[in-house]
């Protein structure tokens, strides 16, 4: 076997394998293709991460094949690649696009020369926009005439050295976000033991980006023109919710629901770009936990009919109704129903009118409450009083004043019933005492019946009462 390559430059942590071969070839004044041929390797196969090529290179430079595998983007499935210690798809990896940090490149070129110009594996990941060391934005070189030429990293840098040096002289910088730190750690150390561990880098990027865009209320048309700064901001916003685990993700979904400005909110509109993305990829088995949480939220938050399918999940027994369906079930007008629910919840009418749906149990509670109400006419008939006397009893607190959406007043049936029960508890006569009907007593004493009834209810009435003849409270007789 050929002797090992003694003059091999050291492999830099995080460096791409094709970038390493590119700068090694510069050391010997050869093209990467000729350099590989000279050493018994095939350049295109080495760029693709073929095992036999990496084993050959590992022997030549005195490294293990396992270590070299962490420096390449080897194919592990259709459109899927192992990038460092994680997996990525072509959705967020540009294999032939030359992205770089101008400061890293110019510093290496100045201090060492062309054979020191390294290419980090992470620069191929489009969800990373800045350099982890210098904090400056990455730049993308114009594509070469032949796609495979782009793998010769040092040659592409030298062909565009003026643009690279110009970018290095006036770099635009930005602090690393938590999202970018998480992506870098996945590439360098592999997935963490968190709820995102089964997702590849592309899925994580799209999840955070689209969730952030949905929270910001952005539309697809705007997404096509996003700059690096905007995309970083959206990814960080989405990641801020996602990194908190399933609970944090559910908080984000609730926020999207609260932000809805529609009179009849619907989950697909409220979730915006996040829903559009998930609808396209929900069949991916690795996204199942995310889909389950999303469907649970939808079924709990929106009026989804029993049996309806969302992302292949079947809605359980319906617990929410939209106002139209609640109106049909209850027979109440929409505005009356909103006011009624607001009354029961203790919120003002303006806030109550913002409601867009009703829980089934809330509707049952509202219906039961209405069944316990009577209007002033019925209350007057029941108690043997006039409408004005019923209003006066409400004003002094003997009866609660119930208003729903207008000036119309209602009386609680059980309160009126308790007054009649109190009446029925009176004796039918007061032996050896002179009594007169309540109406005559009030006329002779020049007081109102309401005043006497109020004192009686409060237990502050002097003298004794009994129950005589008459309708309702008119049957009261006073000593």
| Contact in structure between 265 and 302 (CB atoms under 8 Å) | yes
The predicted pLDDT at position 4 comes to 53
| Contact in structure between 256 and 272 (CB atoms under 8 Å) | yes
Beta bridge partners of 412: 373
The DSSP code sequence of 73-93 is EEEEETTEEEETTEEEETTTB
- Residue (of 44, 63, 78) closest to 5 by Cα position: 63
The predicted pLDDT at position 235 comes to 96
| Contact in structure between 231 and 128 (CB atoms under 8 Å) | no
- E-strand spans in 299-372? 309-310, 313-314, 320-322, 357-359
Backbone angles phi, psi at 114, to 5 degrees: -55, -35
- Alpha-carbon span 125 to 92, nearest angstrom: 6
Helix (H) or strand (E) holding 53: helix 51-61
The separation between CA 354 and the C-alpha centre of its own chain, rounded to angstroms, equals: 21
Boundaries of every domain in the chain: 17-169, 191-302, 321-371, 374-478
- Direct distance between the N- and C-terminal alpha carbons of the chain, in angstroms, rounded to an integer: 127
The predicted pLDDT at position 3 comes to 52
The predicted pLDDT at position 197 comes to 93
The predicted pLDDT at position 102 comes to 97
- The CA distances from residue 74 to 44, 48, 116, 299, in Å, are 12, 6, 24, 41
- Alpha-carbon span 54 to 45, nearest angstrom: 9
The DSSP code sequence of 141-160 is PPPPSSGGGGG-HHHHHHHT
Q: Is 141 exposed, middle or buried (0-12, 13-18, 19+ CB in 10 A)?
A: middle
How is the beta sheet containing 465-467 ordered, strand by strand? 436-437, 476-478, 465-467
DSSP 406: S
- Residue (of 417, 407, 354, 426) closest to 382 by Cα position: 417
| Contact in structure between 459 and 405 (CB atoms under 8 Å) | no
Structure tokens that stand for 330 in this block: 């209850």
- The CA distances from residue 379 to 367, 471, 472, in Å, are 19, 12, 10
Please report, in tens digits, the pLDDT of each residue of the chain (479 residues total): 455 555 688 999 999 999 999 999 999 999 999 999 999 999 999 988 888 999 999 999 989 998 888 888 878 888 888 888 899 988 888 888 899 999 999 999 999 999 999 999 999 999 999 999 999 999 999 988 887 788 999 999 999 999 999 999 988 899 999 999 999 999 999 998 999 999 999 999 999 999 999 999 999 888 888 889 999 999 999 999 999 999 999 999 999 999 988 777 889 999 999 999 999 999 999 999 999 999 999 998 888 888 888 998 888 887 778 788 888 888 888 888 888 888 888 888 888 888 888 888 888 888 888 889 989 999 999 999 999 998 999 999 999 888 887 777 899 999 999 999 998 999 988 887 888 898 898 998 899 999 989 999 988 887 788 888 888 998 989 88
Q: Which residues contact 274 (CB under 8 A, 6 or more apart)?
A: 207, 210, 211, 213, 214, 256
| Contact in structure between 411 and 379 (CB atoms under 8 Å) | yes
**Which residue is it, tokens 């209602």?**
410
């Amino acid at each position: 076997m050929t002797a090992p390559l003694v003059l091999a430059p050291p492999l830099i942590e995080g460096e791409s394998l094709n970038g390493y071969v590119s700068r090694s070839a510069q050391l010997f004044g050869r093209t990467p293709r000729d350099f590989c041929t000279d050493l018994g390797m095939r350049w295109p196969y080495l760029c693709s991460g073929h095992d036999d090529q990496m084993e050959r290179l590992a022997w030549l430079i005195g490294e293990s094949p396992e270590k070299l595998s962490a420096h390449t983007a080897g194919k592990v499935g259709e459109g899927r690649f192992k990038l460092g210690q994680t997996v990525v798809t072509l959705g967020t990896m540009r294999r032939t696009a030359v992205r770089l940090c101008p400061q890293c490149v110019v510093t290496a070129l100045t201090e060492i020369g062309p054979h020191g110009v390294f290419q980090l594996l992470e620069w191929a990941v489009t969800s990373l926009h800045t350099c982890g060391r210098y904090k400056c934005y990455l730049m993308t070189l114009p594509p070469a005439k032949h796609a495979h030429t782009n793998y010769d990293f040092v040659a592409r840098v030298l062909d565009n050295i003026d643009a690279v040096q110009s970018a290095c002289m006036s770099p635009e910088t930005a602090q690393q976000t938590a999202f970018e730190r998480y992506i870098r750690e996945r590439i360098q150390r592999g997935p963490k033991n968190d709820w995102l561990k089964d997702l590849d880098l592309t899925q994580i990027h799209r999840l955070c980006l689209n969730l952030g865009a949905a929270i910001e209320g952005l539309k697809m048309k705007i997404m096509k023109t996003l700059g690096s700064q905007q995309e970083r901001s959206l990814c960080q916003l989405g990641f801020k919710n996602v990194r908190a685990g399933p609970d944090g993700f559910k908080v984000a979904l609730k926020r999207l629901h609260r932000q809805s400005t529609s009179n009849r909110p619907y989950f697909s509109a409220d979730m915006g770009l996040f829903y559009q993305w998930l609808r396209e990829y929900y069949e991916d088995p690795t996204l199942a936990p995310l889909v389950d949480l999303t469907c649970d939220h939808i079924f709990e938050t929106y009026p989804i009919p029993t049996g309806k399918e969302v992302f292949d999940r079947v809605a359980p027994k319906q617990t929410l109704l939209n106002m139209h369906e609640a109106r049909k079930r209850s027979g109440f007008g929409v505005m009356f129903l909103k006011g009624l629910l607001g009354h029961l919840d203790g919120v003002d009418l303006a806030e109550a009118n913002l409601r867009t749906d009703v829980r089934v149990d809330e509707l049952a509670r509202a219906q039961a409450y209405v069944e316990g109400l009577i209007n002033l006419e019925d209350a007057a008939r029941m108690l043997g009083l006039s409408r004005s006397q019923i209003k006066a009893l409400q004003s002094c607190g003997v009866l609660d004043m119930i208003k729903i959406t207008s000036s119309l007043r209602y009386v609680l049936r059980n309160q009126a019933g308790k007054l009649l029960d109190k009446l029925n508890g009176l004796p039918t006569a007061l032996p050896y005492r002179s009594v007169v009907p309540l109406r005559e007593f009030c006329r002779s004493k020049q007081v109102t019946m309401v005043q006497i009834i109020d004192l009686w209810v409060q237990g502050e009435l002097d003298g004794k009462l009994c129950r005589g003849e008459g309708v309702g409270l008119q049957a009261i007789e006073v000593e």
